[in-house]
Amino acid sequence: MRTSRGVRSRREGIIVKLVSDDGIVRYGEIAPLPEFGSETIEAAIAFCRRLGDRVSTETIRSIPDTLPACQFGFESAILGCQNLAPASLSCSRLLPAGEAAIAKVANTPPQSTFKWKIGVEAVDRELDILSELARSLPPGGKLRLDANGGLNWETANRWLACCDQLGIELFEQPLPVGEFDAMQKLRDRYATPIALDESVATVTQMERCHQRGWRGIFVVKPCIAGFPSRLRQLCRDCDLDTVFSSVFESAIAREFALRLAATVQKVPRAVGFGVEGWLATTDE
Ligand code: MG
Protein backbone atom coordinates (compact mmCIF):
# COMPACT_ATOMS: atom_id res chain seq x y z
CA MET A 1 0.00 0.00 0.00
CA ARG A 2 1.37 3.38 -1.02
CA THR A 3 0.73 6.51 1.03
CA SER A 4 2.48 9.89 1.26
CA ARG A 5 4.72 8.18 3.86
CA GLY A 6 5.94 5.43 1.57
CA VAL A 7 5.15 1.78 0.97
CA ARG A 8 3.81 -0.69 3.54
CA SER A 9 3.99 -4.38 2.67
CA ARG A 10 3.74 -6.20 6.02
CA ARG A 11 1.47 -6.10 9.02
CA GLU A 12 2.36 -7.86 12.28
CA GLY A 13 0.25 -8.20 15.39
CA ILE A 14 -0.36 -10.33 18.47
CA ILE A 15 -3.47 -12.37 19.29
CA VAL A 16 -4.20 -12.31 23.03
CA LYS A 17 -5.97 -15.38 24.48
CA LEU A 18 -7.23 -15.05 28.05
CA VAL A 19 -8.69 -18.02 29.94
CA SER A 20 -10.53 -17.10 33.13
CA ASP A 21 -10.42 -19.26 36.27
CA ASP A 22 -13.85 -20.65 35.35
CA GLY A 23 -12.57 -21.64 31.91
CA ILE A 24 -14.10 -18.90 29.73
CA VAL A 25 -11.89 -18.09 26.75
CA ARG A 26 -11.66 -14.52 25.44
CA TYR A 27 -9.63 -13.11 22.58
CA GLY A 28 -8.15 -9.72 21.90
CA GLU A 29 -5.68 -8.35 19.39
CA ILE A 30 -2.68 -6.08 19.70
CA ALA A 31 -2.19 -4.35 16.35
CA PRO A 32 0.49 -1.66 16.78
CA LEU A 33 1.17 1.05 14.22
CA PRO A 34 4.31 2.81 15.46
CA GLU A 35 4.36 5.36 12.64
CA PHE A 36 1.08 6.62 14.10
CA GLY A 37 2.60 6.88 17.56
CA SER A 38 1.72 3.52 19.08
CA GLU A 39 4.28 1.18 20.61
CA THR A 40 6.29 -1.08 18.31
CA ILE A 41 5.53 -4.78 17.90
CA GLU A 42 8.79 -5.50 19.77
CA ALA A 43 7.67 -3.39 22.75
CA ALA A 44 4.29 -5.13 22.76
CA ILE A 45 5.91 -8.59 22.69
CA ALA A 46 8.27 -7.60 25.52
CA PHE A 47 5.31 -6.37 27.59
CA CYS A 48 3.37 -9.62 27.04
CA ARG A 49 6.43 -11.71 28.02
CA ARG A 50 6.85 -9.72 31.23
CA LEU A 51 3.24 -10.51 32.21
CA GLY A 52 3.96 -14.22 32.44
CA ASP A 53 1.18 -16.82 32.56
CA ARG A 54 -1.31 -15.11 34.83
CA VAL A 55 -2.77 -11.63 34.45
CA SER A 56 -5.33 -9.85 36.63
CA THR A 57 -7.94 -7.29 35.61
CA GLU A 58 -6.07 -4.75 37.78
CA THR A 59 -2.88 -5.40 35.82
CA ILE A 60 -4.75 -4.87 32.56
CA ARG A 61 -6.34 -1.64 33.79
CA SER A 62 -2.88 -0.34 34.75
CA ILE A 63 -1.18 -0.88 31.37
CA PRO A 64 0.64 2.45 30.79
CA ASP A 65 -0.35 4.98 28.11
CA THR A 66 2.93 4.27 26.34
CA LEU A 67 1.39 0.93 25.24
CA PRO A 68 -1.95 2.00 23.67
CA ALA A 69 -2.24 -1.03 21.36
CA CYS A 70 -1.71 -3.34 24.38
CA GLN A 71 -4.34 -1.36 26.33
CA PHE A 72 -6.79 -2.03 23.50
CA GLY A 73 -5.82 -5.67 22.98
CA PHE A 74 -6.21 -6.67 26.62
CA GLU A 75 -9.18 -4.52 27.59
CA SER A 76 -11.18 -5.45 24.47
CA ALA A 77 -10.59 -9.11 25.39
CA ILE A 78 -12.02 -8.69 28.91
CA LEU A 79 -14.89 -6.41 27.84
CA GLY A 80 -16.04 -8.53 24.91
CA CYS A 81 -18.77 -7.39 22.54
CA GLN A 82 -21.83 -7.91 24.80
CA ASN A 83 -22.48 -4.26 25.59
CA LEU A 84 -21.81 -2.95 22.11
CA ALA A 85 -24.25 -2.33 19.26
CA PRO A 86 -24.24 -4.75 16.31
CA ALA A 87 -21.79 -3.65 13.63
CA SER A 88 -24.14 -1.85 11.25
CA LEU A 89 -22.20 0.91 9.50
CA SER A 90 -21.15 0.66 5.88
CA CYS A 91 -17.45 0.69 5.06
CA SER A 92 -15.56 3.08 2.83
CA ARG A 93 -13.45 1.28 0.26
CA LEU A 94 -9.76 2.04 0.26
CA LEU A 95 -8.59 2.86 -3.26
CA PRO A 96 -5.04 2.43 -4.53
CA ALA A 97 -3.01 5.63 -4.86
CA GLY A 98 -2.59 7.31 -8.23
CA GLU A 99 -4.63 6.75 -11.35
CA ALA A 100 -5.23 3.05 -10.55
CA ALA A 101 -8.06 4.36 -8.33
CA ILE A 102 -10.25 5.33 -11.31
CA ALA A 103 -10.77 1.77 -12.55
CA LYS A 104 -11.66 0.61 -9.00
CA VAL A 105 -14.54 3.07 -8.78
CA ALA A 106 -16.17 1.97 -12.04
CA ASN A 107 -19.26 -0.28 -11.79
CA THR A 108 -19.58 -0.07 -8.02
CA PRO A 109 -22.96 0.01 -6.19
CA PRO A 110 -24.79 3.33 -5.69
CA GLN A 111 -24.11 5.20 -2.41
CA SER A 112 -20.63 3.64 -2.04
CA THR A 113 -18.00 5.63 -0.14
CA PHE A 114 -14.36 5.57 -1.24
CA LYS A 115 -11.13 6.74 0.30
CA TRP A 116 -8.19 7.83 -1.82
CA LYS A 117 -4.67 8.42 -0.50
CA ILE A 118 -3.07 11.55 -1.92
CA GLY A 119 0.32 13.26 -1.74
CA VAL A 120 1.90 10.26 -3.43
CA GLU A 121 2.48 11.78 -6.89
CA ALA A 122 2.85 15.39 -8.14
CA VAL A 123 -0.03 17.69 -7.11
CA ASP A 124 -1.05 18.70 -10.64
CA ARG A 125 -1.23 15.08 -11.74
CA GLU A 126 -3.24 14.06 -8.69
CA LEU A 127 -5.67 16.97 -9.05
CA ASP A 128 -6.37 15.84 -12.65
CA ILE A 129 -7.01 12.31 -11.40
CA LEU A 130 -9.27 13.72 -8.66
CA SER A 131 -11.56 15.41 -11.19
CA GLU A 132 -11.88 12.20 -13.15
CA LEU A 133 -12.37 10.14 -10.00
CA ALA A 134 -15.17 12.45 -8.83
CA ARG A 135 -16.85 12.14 -12.25
CA SER A 136 -16.58 8.33 -12.12
CA LEU A 137 -18.37 7.90 -8.77
CA PRO A 138 -21.57 5.83 -8.77
CA PRO A 139 -24.89 7.64 -8.11
CA GLY A 140 -24.88 8.93 -4.52
CA GLY A 141 -21.26 7.87 -4.18
CA LYS A 142 -18.91 9.73 -1.84
CA LEU A 143 -15.19 10.31 -1.98
CA ARG A 144 -12.93 11.14 0.97
CA LEU A 145 -9.26 12.02 0.68
CA ASP A 146 -6.36 11.24 2.98
CA ALA A 147 -3.08 13.18 2.77
CA ASN A 148 -1.54 11.45 5.79
CA GLY A 149 -0.07 14.82 6.78
CA GLY A 150 1.88 15.03 3.51
CA LEU A 151 0.85 18.52 2.28
CA ASN A 152 2.09 22.02 3.04
CA TRP A 153 0.03 25.21 3.41
CA GLU A 154 0.12 26.01 -0.30
CA THR A 155 -0.74 22.55 -1.62
CA ALA A 156 -3.39 22.02 1.07
CA ASN A 157 -5.15 25.19 -0.11
CA ARG A 158 -5.03 24.02 -3.73
CA TRP A 159 -6.48 20.64 -2.79
CA LEU A 160 -9.23 22.03 -0.58
CA ALA A 161 -10.33 24.61 -3.18
CA CYS A 162 -10.84 21.70 -5.64
CA CYS A 163 -12.55 19.60 -2.96
CA ASP A 164 -15.08 22.39 -2.31
CA GLN A 165 -15.95 22.46 -6.02
CA LEU A 166 -16.27 18.70 -6.30
CA GLY A 167 -18.21 18.13 -3.07
CA ILE A 168 -15.64 15.85 -1.45
CA GLU A 169 -17.04 14.14 1.68
CA LEU A 170 -14.09 14.85 4.00
CA PHE A 171 -10.35 15.45 3.98
CA GLU A 172 -8.07 13.59 6.40
CA GLN A 173 -4.98 15.16 7.97
CA PRO A 174 -3.84 17.64 5.29
CA LEU A 175 -0.82 18.90 7.27
CA PRO A 176 1.76 17.32 9.59
CA VAL A 177 0.86 16.69 13.23
CA GLY A 178 2.62 19.81 14.55
CA GLU A 179 0.55 22.19 12.38
CA PHE A 180 -2.60 22.21 14.45
CA ASP A 181 -3.30 25.96 14.15
CA ALA A 182 -2.92 25.88 10.36
CA MET A 183 -5.41 23.00 10.16
CA GLN A 184 -7.86 25.05 12.25
CA LYS A 185 -7.44 27.85 9.67
CA LEU A 186 -8.11 25.45 6.79
CA ARG A 187 -11.19 24.27 8.62
CA ASP A 188 -12.50 27.84 8.87
CA ARG A 189 -11.67 28.62 5.27
CA TYR A 190 -13.22 25.69 3.36
CA ALA A 191 -16.58 23.93 3.26
CA THR A 192 -15.02 20.47 2.92
CA PRO A 193 -14.95 18.95 6.43
CA ILE A 194 -11.44 18.33 7.73
CA ALA A 195 -10.67 15.32 9.90
CA LEU A 196 -7.64 15.01 12.16
CA ASP A 197 -6.11 11.55 12.03
CA GLU A 198 -2.37 11.29 12.79
CA SER A 199 -2.83 14.23 15.23
CA VAL A 200 -5.29 12.21 17.32
CA ALA A 201 -3.92 8.66 17.32
CA THR A 202 -4.52 8.09 21.04
CA VAL A 203 -7.24 9.07 23.50
CA THR A 204 -4.77 11.38 25.23
CA GLN A 205 -4.11 13.22 21.95
CA MET A 206 -7.84 13.37 21.21
CA GLU A 207 -8.40 15.00 24.60
CA ARG A 208 -5.64 17.50 23.97
CA CYS A 209 -6.93 18.54 20.52
CA HIS A 210 -10.46 18.88 21.87
CA GLN A 211 -9.13 21.10 24.68
CA ARG A 212 -7.28 23.21 22.11
CA GLY A 213 -10.58 23.81 20.36
CA TRP A 214 -10.79 21.25 17.56
CA ARG A 215 -14.45 20.86 16.64
CA GLY A 216 -13.94 19.13 13.31
CA ILE A 217 -13.96 15.38 12.75
CA PHE A 218 -11.74 12.97 14.69
CA VAL A 219 -10.55 9.87 12.84
CA VAL A 220 -10.48 7.15 15.49
CA LYS A 221 -8.28 4.10 15.08
CA PRO A 222 -9.60 2.20 18.09
CA CYS A 223 -6.94 -0.52 17.98
CA ILE A 224 -4.15 1.98 18.73
CA ALA A 225 -6.15 4.59 20.67
CA GLY A 226 -5.77 2.99 24.11
CA PHE A 227 -8.40 1.62 26.50
CA PRO A 228 -11.74 1.29 24.65
CA SER A 229 -13.62 2.20 27.85
CA ARG A 230 -11.79 5.53 28.02
CA LEU A 231 -12.33 6.18 24.30
CA ARG A 232 -16.04 5.57 24.61
CA GLN A 233 -16.28 7.84 27.65
CA LEU A 234 -14.41 10.70 25.95
CA CYS A 235 -16.52 10.52 22.77
CA ARG A 236 -19.66 10.59 24.87
CA ASP A 237 -18.60 13.28 27.37
CA CYS A 238 -17.28 15.66 24.69
CA ASP A 239 -19.85 14.73 22.03
CA LEU A 240 -17.04 14.18 19.50
CA ASP A 241 -17.76 13.85 15.78
CA THR A 242 -15.83 10.72 14.85
CA VAL A 243 -15.17 8.42 11.94
CA PHE A 244 -13.73 5.07 12.93
CA SER A 245 -10.95 3.55 10.90
CA SER A 246 -8.91 0.39 10.50
CA VAL A 247 -5.22 -0.18 11.18
CA PHE A 248 -5.28 -3.37 9.08
CA GLU A 249 -6.16 -5.51 12.07
CA SER A 250 -7.46 -9.08 11.75
CA ALA A 251 -11.06 -10.25 12.24
CA ILE A 252 -10.66 -10.43 16.03
CA ALA A 253 -10.03 -6.73 16.62
CA ARG A 254 -12.18 -5.77 13.65
CA GLU A 255 -15.38 -7.19 15.13
CA PHE A 256 -14.87 -5.34 18.40
CA ALA A 257 -13.80 -2.11 16.63
CA LEU A 258 -16.82 -2.13 14.29
CA ARG A 259 -19.22 -2.63 17.19
CA LEU A 260 -17.53 0.11 19.13
CA ALA A 261 -17.92 2.35 16.07
CA ALA A 262 -21.64 1.52 15.81
CA THR A 263 -21.99 2.38 19.51
CA VAL A 264 -19.94 5.59 19.55
CA GLN A 265 -20.05 7.26 16.11
CA LYS A 266 -22.80 9.88 16.12
CA VAL A 267 -22.87 10.74 12.39
CA PRO A 268 -23.70 7.60 10.38
CA ARG A 269 -20.93 8.01 7.80
CA ALA A 270 -19.08 5.03 6.38
CA VAL A 271 -16.30 3.69 8.58
CA GLY A 272 -12.79 3.23 7.24
CA PHE A 273 -12.70 -0.55 7.42
CA GLY A 274 -13.06 -1.34 3.70
CA VAL A 275 -9.67 -2.99 3.38
CA GLU A 276 -10.71 -6.19 1.61
CA GLY A 277 -8.15 -7.28 -0.92
CA TRP A 278 -5.35 -5.45 0.91
CA LEU A 279 -4.61 -8.20 3.43
CA ALA A 280 -3.26 -11.67 2.76
CA THR A 281 -2.10 -13.91 5.60
CA THR A 282 1.27 -15.61 5.82
CA ASP A 283 2.55 -18.18 8.33
CA GLU A 284 5.92 -16.56 8.73
MG1 MG B 1 -5.94 8.76 7.60
Q: How many CB atoms lie within 10 A of CB 94?
A: 24
CB atoms within 10 A of CB 221: 25
Distance from Cα 55 to the centre of ligand 1, integer Å: 34
Contacts of 147 (CB under 8 A, 6+ apart): 4, 117, 118, 119, 156, 159, 171, 172, 173, 174, 175
Check pLDDT > 60 for residue 175. Answer: yes
Start and end residues for every CATH 3.20.20.120 domain found in the chain: 91-274
Residue spans in the chain of domains classed CATH 3.30.390.10: 14-79
If you measure from the C-alpha of residue 90 to the centroid of ligand 1, how many angstroms do you get, rounded to a whole number?
17
Mean local confidence (pLDDT), 144-148: 95
Global pTM value: 0.91
pLDDT value of position 127: 97
pLDDT at residue 4 is higher than 80: no
Helix, strand, or coil here: 83?
Answer: coil
Distance from residue 172's CA to the centre of ligand 1 (Å):
5
14-79: CATH class: alpha beta
Average confidence (pLDDT) over 240-258: 93
**What CATH superfamily is the domain 91-274?**
Enolase-like C-terminal domain (3.20.20.120)
Query: Which residue numbers are catalytic?
Result: 117, 221
Please give the Cα distance from 66 to 243 (Å, whole number). Answer: 24
96 CA distance to ligand 1 middle (Å): 14
Using a pLDDT cut of 70, give the percent of the chain over it.
96
Residue range 26-39: average pLDDT?
Answer: 94
Residue 197 alpha carbon to ligand 1 centre in Å: 5
Q: What is the pLDDT of residue 101?
A: 95
* Residue 86 main-chain phi, psi, to 5 deg: -60, 145
pLDDT value of residue 284: 47
